[in-house]
Each structure stands twice: as structure tokens, then as C-alpha cells.
Structure 1
Amino acid sequence: MSDQPTAPPTELRQHHPRDRGEILGMGGMWLAKWSLCLVLIAAGGWVVWTLLGVLWVAVLPVLLAIVVSTVLWPPTRAMTSRGVPPGAAAGITLIAFLGFFGGIIALIVPSVVDQAPELANKASQGITQVQEWIKGPPINLQDDQIDSAVQAIIHKLQTSAQAIATGVFSGVSAAGSMLVTLTLVLVLAFFFIKDGPRFLPWLHSVTGGRAGRHFEAVSVRIWDTLGGFIRTQALVSFVDAFFIGLGLIILGVPLAPMLALLTFIAGFIPIVGAFVAGALAVLVALVAKGWTTALIVLVIVIAVQQLEGNVLQPVLQSRTMKLHAVIVLLAVTAGGSMFGIVGAFLAVPVAAVVAVVIRYIGEQVDLKLDDRDRDAGTEADAGAEPATEPGDLATAD
């Protein structure tokens, strides 16, 4: 009789059902832990927000300078790659930038000065025509009713003047004055584009190897996203301003160059800016040329905005922003309500930066999960029993 090795006896494991209170306790502990984490995150966010409010005078020029630097960096980089010293390249780019916008303003201001009195006269005539129209059928308002309505509107505007001025100039007044802020923005932008390539190595050395790697990756993505947004939005705004301005010039609407420039600037505030600039163009056409011209301008504005919203924005912005239109609208509304025009302008870039950080954190979490699954699979393969029992390999005598 041959001796065959036998498998060790298998111990039966008894499964005791868990108590219901134990399951509820585990869920309660999980909820309490995450609630505490959320409270701590909210407290940290409140501290950061408070510091931002205290340091807003210094933070605002830095944010605006970063946005301006994304526009000025490509020509500066092109010159430095051809051997131009960084300081000279940054100075040439900044002077060309100021000269470009200064030339545009110099070309527009004389036409505004010449046409403003005529537009004011047209506006007064238009108000008179509207008063005559509402006196007739089917409205049939009397003079005293019209006067009371006008006085109520004037009183409302006077009582709201301080609030309106605060909402419009809150971002600029927080930095002292527009001139000081603009000067500081230009100085900071000069140093950013001059010494920008030194920033990432310095950040990496300060934060250390592990954290520096993440900071560097996130910084590069944020810079690419901001640069892509500003350049793409500038292209979209230029298309809007060109076609709307061309239509205004053909129709003979006064202040057409200024309205085109305002359309270009307002285009950097997505959704809201285009609507406000288009409404202003229609209003000027109505006052200066009448209902027919105003309706034609309205059709032009709607057609251009449909081209922007259905063709340019989805094709161009989707590659850089990857933000839903609802998020953009909410960001612009929140930024404008808290910081005025400057907040509305910076709202979308800030939302894009937050989205970049969230996506990067998600990618790192996915990598950690993949590594853990891979390690778990390796351990399972190493601890698996062989498919052939030892007794099967034994041979009888």
C-alpha cells in the first residue's frame, strides 16, 4: 500500500451575522468623520476668504497682471528664443501693447467728441417722440401721469446712485484708484513675463520634491488654461466686434467705432458682456436712426451672437475651458455681485483654475486607486494555491 500525502483538514468558518446597531454605528462614524472634514475645509476656506478680503488691494493687481501676462508671454517668448535678452523682450512687448491700445483710443476719441452732441440731441428728440406716442391711443396717458412717472424714475435713480456706483467701481476702488491699479498691473506684468521661466524651478525648490512635482504640474496646466482662454476669448470678441461694428458703420449709426470697441471689451465677460454690449448698440441705433435701423441692428447682434454661441464658443473654448455654460453664467453672476465689473471679468478664469485643480486631484485619486488595485492583484496572485493538488502528482508503488 503506497503512502499518499493527504490534504490538511479544512476548518469550517462560522459566519456570525452582524448586529443592526453595529452597521448603523459604522455608518454614523463614517458620516461624522466626513462631516468633521467638511467643517474643517469650510473653516479653512473662510480663513482664506477673509485674508483675500484684507489683502485685496494687493491681490487684485496680481490677478490682473497674470491675465495680461498670458497675452504678452507668447511674443516675449518668441523674442527670447531668438536671443533677445528677457528684459528687452518684455519691455518691447509691453510698449507695443500700450501703443496698440493707445492708438485705438486716440482714433476713437475724436469721433466720440464730434458725435456726442448730435447723439444727445437725437436722444432728446427720441424722448419727445416717445412722450407723444404714449399720449395717443392705445395708451392715452396724460401729461401729469407722464411727469409723475418720470419723477418716480428720477427719484429711484437718485436713491440708487450710490449703490450703482459702488457696484460698478467696487473692484477698482478697492485697489485705490484706476490709475494706480493700472500702473501696478503693468509693472507686475513686466516682471512676470521677464522672469516667468524662473518661477517653476523656484517653486519646486521651495515646496520640496514631492509637493513641488504636483505644484509644477498644476501651475503649467493653469497657465495653459488661462492663456488659451484669453487668446480664444480675444478671437471670439474680435469677431463679434468686427461684424457688429461693420453693420453699425454700414447703417450709419453714430459712435460705431466706440461701440465696436465696447463690444470687444465686453466679450471678455462671457454671456453677460455680449448681451449688454448688443443692447447698448441697439439703444444708440434707436435714438439716432429710429425703429427700423434699431431692428436691423438687433438682427445683426442676434445673428453674430448665435454664430458665437453655436460655432465659435463650442469649437474654440471647449478645448481650453471645458466648463458648462451654467457654470460660466453662475460664476459671472457671483463675481459681478461681489466685486463688480472686475469680479465679472475674473470670474470665468477663476472658475477655470478651480476646475483644473479639481481635475488634477481626480486624476491623482484615480492613479492611487489603480496602484492599489494593481498591488492587490499581485498579492492575490502570489498567495494563490497551485491548481494541482499534491496528491495528484504522487505515483503508486
Structure 2
Amino acid sequence: MAATLSSTKTVAALRSSARVSLDVLLVLVMTAVALWLLGKMWSIVWPLIVGLLLTTLTWPLARFLRRHGWRPALAASVVTVLFLLVASGIVALIAVPVASQSGELADGVVEGIDKLRAWAAGPPLNIGDDQIAGAFDSAVARVKDSVGSMVTYVGTGVSTVFNGLVTAVLALFLMFFFLKDGPRFLPWLTRQLPGRLATDVPVVAARGWDTLGAFVRSQAFVGLLDAVFIGLGLWILGVPLVLPLAVLTFVSAFVPIVGALFAGLVAVLIALVSNGLTDALIVLALIVVVQQLEGNVFQPMIQSRGLGLHAAVVLLAVALGGSLAGVVGSLLAVPVAALIAVVWNYLREQLSEPPREPGTDESPAGAVAPS
């Protein structure tokens, strides 16, 4: 009898495990299908995501104007124009000083190359001019052999730039419409959904919006810290173009990994051609220290507070996103993880039973006791 009961329990446990495994497999298949569809529609999804992120950055000003009697279309138009002016000002702040000192920088580059050549000709390398000329000739020959590949790379780069411009224009138009009609989205969504979804989905959407705003604000604060620390270091060392480099550091903070590498490379190059090798190495060490503090201390702490995520979760999310989708995955990993946490917390709130107060009757309030 006992053996039969044990066998029945084993079969029931196996059936339950099989059902759970089948459910998990179905969830994984649906997730794979959703990601595949997302990849097919990426040309539309990516401008939508960028537009949402820009809207979270500009919505506080639009909300302020709307609360002071401005019509939604006028407030959205003014905020969009101001955003364009600020973005153009940032580009000018970087480009104008660089263009004005381009001649000095070019002379510095030539002088730096001559110094490097003279250093290579001395001990311990003792590289002669004939060896340098031979290396140069071989490099030229390799370039000639790979002209076709270079044309392909150039075409890919032009296509990437064009796609980036199209994405920026679409994101800007979407930002305007989000600023104009955003507050009407949740009431419209409530009217479209049936049953309990009309309550649950708008609540989750509102919480997700707050989470995206916290992500953008935290990223901007981290970029500001990078710009201040690196800018102070460059100013102390007497490196030219301090303000453009600081602005470039702040803007590049919104693009993980690649943005920091690009801004750091530009700063080191300018320090090399203007102040020499020693200051360039000091700038490189400064950038490495600041980037390590940002990636391992500032960013996890600030984002974990603003997004309700632990610092370790932020680090793991960035690593996973980068391994799955490169730079875009690193950029979107933290907000996606935060949105998943929002959905999970809401589900947990709805599924958990409210605690009973001690000493209360188990029957619902107002119920009549059976006679």
C-alpha cells in the first residue's frame, strides 16, 4: 500500500514538473518570437525609444508651461525649439574652438610625429629612416590592395550616418507629439482595454514612465560628474579646449563604453599634440580612474537608488546587454531591467494577499453570522 502511494506521488510530481517545464518552454518560445519581431521592426522601434528618452528629458519644462496656461501644442513647440537650440549650441561649443585652433593642432600633430620618429631612431629601438620608409611603403601597398574593402567600409559608414540622421529626425518628431499628446495617452489606453486590464496596464505604464525619467536623470548626473572631474584635470594640466572636451565627455556619457572611449581618446590626443607625452599619459591615467569610478561606483549607486535596482543588478544588466546587442544593448539594458522590475513588483503586489490584523474575524466586514 505504501509503495503504491509513493509511486502515485512520484507520478504526480513528474507530471507537475512536466507541466511547469512546458510552461517555461512556451514562455521562452514566445520571448524568442517577440525578440525576432522586435528585430524586424527595429527601424521603427529605435526612433520610438530615442523619442521616449528625449521626452523624459524635456517633459518637466513642457509640464511647467502647461500648468501655467500654455496650450499643449504651443508648449510642445517651444520645448522642441529650445531643445534644438541647446543641441545646436552644444555642437557649436565643441566645433567652433576646435576649428579655430585646427591649425595649431595640425602643427602639433606634425611636431608630435617628428618627435616620435626621433625617439624611435634612438636607443633602445634604433629604428632607422630606411626602416620607417619601408614600413610606410608596405602600409601604402596594403592600403592599395584593400581599396575594395575600404569602399565597402565607406559605404557602410555613409549608410550608418544616413540612418542615424533619419532616426534623429523621427525621434524629434515623436518627441514633439509625445510632449503634445502624452497626457491623453493613459485615458485613451484605459478606454481601449477590457476588464481589469483597463486598470492594471495604465498603472504599469505610469510607473514605467517614472522609471525612464529616473534613468535619464541619473545618466545625466553621472555624465556631469565625469565632465567636471575630467575638465578640472585638463584645466590643471593646461590642456587646451577644456570646455569643449568637458561638453563632449558629458554628451558621450549617454552612450556607454564607446562614448567614454571616444571622449577619452580625443582628450588624450589633444594633450599629446599640445602638452607632450607626459601630460598625455597623465590625462590617460585620469580618464581611466574617472571611468572606473563612474562604472563601478557612481553609476551603480545612483542608478540603483533612482531605479530601485541593486548595484550588482545594474552591472550584470549592462554586461548582459552589451554581450547580446553591443552598444545599443548596453544603453538599453538598465532601463529594460528597471521596467521588468516595475512589472514584477506590480504583479507581486496584486498576487499577494493583504495581511490580516490580529484579533479580527475571518468573515468579511458586514457579513451576517450564520444562525
TM-score normalised by length of structure 1: 0.75
Q: Which amino acid aligns with 2:57?
A: V
Q: How many residues align?
A: 357
Unmatched segments (≥5 aa) in structure 2: 364-371
In structure 2, relative to structure 1, the CA distance for the partners of 1:285 and 1:151 (3 Å cut) is farther
CA positional deviation for 1:132: 3.8
Q: Please list, as runs of the form range in 1=range in 2, the aligned pairs for 1:33-72 lying within 5 A after superposition.
A: 33-72=19-58
Contact 2:62 2:75 survives alignment (8 Å):
yes
Q: Which amino acid aligns with 1:71?
A: L
CA positional deviation for 1:378: 4.3
Partner of 1:211: 197
Partner of 1:294: 280
Contact 1:271 1:329 survives alignment (8 Å):
no
Distance in 1 between residues matched to 2:157 and 2:355, nearest whole Å: 51
Distance in 2 between residues matched to 1:147 and 1:363, nearest whole Å: 71
CA positional deviation for 1:226: 0.8
CA positional deviation for 1:67: 0.4
Q: Which amino acid aligns with 1:313?
A: Q
In structure 2, relative to structure 1, the CA distance for the partners of 1:204 and 1:125 (3 Å cut) is same
Secondary structure of the residue aligned to 1:28 is: helix
Distance in 1 between residues matched to 2:248 and 2:36, nearest whole Å: 34
Contact 2:268 2:281 survives alignment (8 Å):
yes
Partner of 2:179: 193
Please tell me whether residue 202 in structure 1 is matched to residue 201 in structure 2: no
Contact 1:122 1:288 survives alignment (8 Å):
yes
String of CA shifts for 1:250-271, please: whole Å, max 9, x gaps. Answer: 4332443332222112212356
String of CA shifts for 1:229-276, please: whole Å, max 9, x gaps. Answer: 111211221232133224324433244333222211221235664455
Please tell me whether residue 111 in structure 1 is matched to residue 92 in structure 2: no
CA positional deviation for 1:296: 3.2
Among 205, 211, 233, which residue is 1:247 paired with?
233
Partner of 1:347: 333
159-168 or 342-351, which moves further after superposition?
159-168
In structure 2, relative to structure 1, the CA distance for the partners of 1:297 and 1:25 (3 Å cut) is same
Q: Please list, as runs of the form range in 1=range in 2, the aligned pairs for 1:89-104 lying within 5 A after superposition.
A: 89-104=75-90
Q: Please list, as runs of the form range in 1=range in 2, the aligned pairs for 1:1-397 lying within 5 A after superposition.
A: 16=2, 19-140=5-126, 144=131, 147-148=134-135, 151=138, 177-270=163-256, 273-274=259-260, 276-302=262-288, 304-305=290-291, 308=294, 312-313=298-299, 316-325=302-311, 327-329=313-315, 331-332=317-318, 335=321, 341-365=327-351, 367-368=352-353, 378=362
Distance in 1 between residues matched to 2:184 and 2:206, nearest whole Å: 13
String of CA shifts for 1:321-374, please: whole Å, max 9, x gaps. Answer: 244555545544555566564444333322322232233333334x15x689x9
Contact 2:269 2:280 survives alignment (8 Å):
yes
Distance in 2 between residues matched to 1:153 and 1:213, nearest whole Å: 67
In structure 2, relative to structure 1, the CA distance for the partners of 1:231 and 1:212 (3 Å cut) is same
Distance in 2 between residues matched to 1:335 and 1:168, nearest whole Å: 24
Distance in 2 between residues matched to 1:343 and 1:153, nearest whole Å: 37
Secondary structure of the residue aligned to 1:177 is: helix
Distance in 1 between residues matched to 2:165 and 2:295, nearest whole Å: 34
Distance in 1 between residues matched to 2:49 and 2:222, nearest whole Å: 22
Contact 2:271 2:279 survives alignment (8 Å):
yes
Secondary structure of the residue aligned to 1:320 is: helix
Contact 2:303 2:314 survives alignment (8 Å):
no
Q: Which amino acid aligns with 1:62?
A: L
In structure 2, relative to structure 1, the CA distance for the partners of 1:154 and 1:191 (3 Å cut) is farther
Partner of 2:369: none
- The structure with the largest alpha-carbon Rg is 1
Q: Which amino acid aligns with 1:243?
A: F
In structure 2, relative to structure 1, the CA distance for the partners of 1:164 and 1:209 (3 Å cut) is farther
CA positional deviation for 1:50: 1.9
Contact 1:115 1:254 survives alignment (8 Å):
no
Unmatched segments (≥5 aa) in structure 1: 1-14, 380-397
RMSD of aligned residue pairs (Cα, Å)? 3.8
TM-score normalised by length of structure 2: 0.80
CA positional deviation for 1:299: 4.6
String of CA shifts for 1:132-186, please: whole Å, max 9, x gaps. Answer: 434444445565489559957995996986897799888x56xx63332222111
